[in-house]
Structure 1
Amino acid sequence: MSQPIPGTTLFDGAMARKGYALNKMCFSFNEAANRDAFLRDEDGYCARYRLTPEQREAVRARNVLAMIAAGGNVYYLAKLAGIFGLDVQDLGAQQTGMTKEAFKARLVDAGRA
């Protein structure tokens, strides 16, 4: 059994099952037509994939940490984030509770070490 890392949600088999609908929906965004359909009717698109109320609220709030807690896999969530004009640095900033600028500065500092 692995030790928990404070502030980290472990993505294991249970979380994969919990987040299946959310991750399946995010995978669908590989196709431009699906991204357009989501933007036209976000609620209807989420209903089509049968997102749970927890997942739906996390998507509505654009809250990456809540999406991860609802079973989202960050690699699939990046596809959803792209629809909103967010990049991986935006996701990292949300995950660490930092501004994007502070997160980017931290990356630069880590690269110098």
Structure 2
Amino acid sequence: MPLDKPYKDVPGTTIFDADMSRQGYHLNQFCMSLMKAENRARFKADERAYLDEWPMTEEQKQAVLDRDLNRCIALGGNIYFLAKIGATDGKSFQQMAGSMTGMTEEEYRNMMVGGGRPIEGNRYVGEKK
């Protein structure tokens, strides 16, 4: 019997739950491999060859190659693991988050300093205002 997931009713939100963990296991293990300098060097030397060593789906590999972090999350990636890709590319977490929102790093920083995103449009789909 499937687990009830009321949190799936939050627009634009992907919750990293047990199902997502299973889906993204190899993607996240790849990300964790980037903690070692020799693996980062191998990845940067030939990204595709390094990714092909991991039993990830083709869609997961392409999302990494495209640096499409939103897609990686939709495919089971955990943002804390995905941050290793950004670090490998010399990007800060703030730069990565900005790219995921379609904002510049400065726009993202200013939004967060200003209190974050407004609640309008970010409630449960079924919630009454």
TM-score normalised by L of structure 1 = 0.90
**Aligned AA for 1:107?**
M
1:95 counterpart residue number = 100
Runs of 4+ displaced beyond 6 Å = none
**SS of equivalent to 2:77:** coil
How far the C-alpha of 1:27 sits from its partner, in A, is: 0.5
1:104 counterpart residue number = 109
**Aligned AA for 1:28?**
S
2:126 counterpart residue number = none
**Quick check: 1:21 aligned with 2:7?**
no
1:20-76 C-alpha deviation (Å, 9 max, x unpaired): 111001001111011001011111110111221111110111111011011100000
Query: Would the aligned equivalents of 1:65 and 1:94 in 2 still touch at CA under 8 Å?
Result: no
C-alpha distance in structure 2 between counterparts of 1:33 and 1:90, whole Å: 24
TM-score normalised by L of structure 2 = 0.79
1:37 counterpart residue number = 42
Count of aligned residue pairs for this structure pair: 111
C-alpha distance in structure 2 between counterparts of 1:71 and 1:46, whole Å: 16
Match of 2:83 among 74, 78, 89: 78
Look at both structures and tell me which one has the larger radius of gyration over its CA atoms: 2
2:7 counterpart residue number = 3
Compare the two structures and name the one with the higher helix fraction.
1
Unaligned runs of 5+ residues in structure 1 are none
The sequence identity of aligned pairs, in percent, is 41
Cα RMSD, aligned residues only: 1.5
**Aligned AA for 2:115?**
A
Query: Would the aligned equivalents of 2:7 and 2:15 in 1 still touch at CA under 8 Å?
Result: no
**Quick check: 1:49 aligned with 2:59?**
no
Unaligned runs of 5+ residues in structure 2 are 117-129
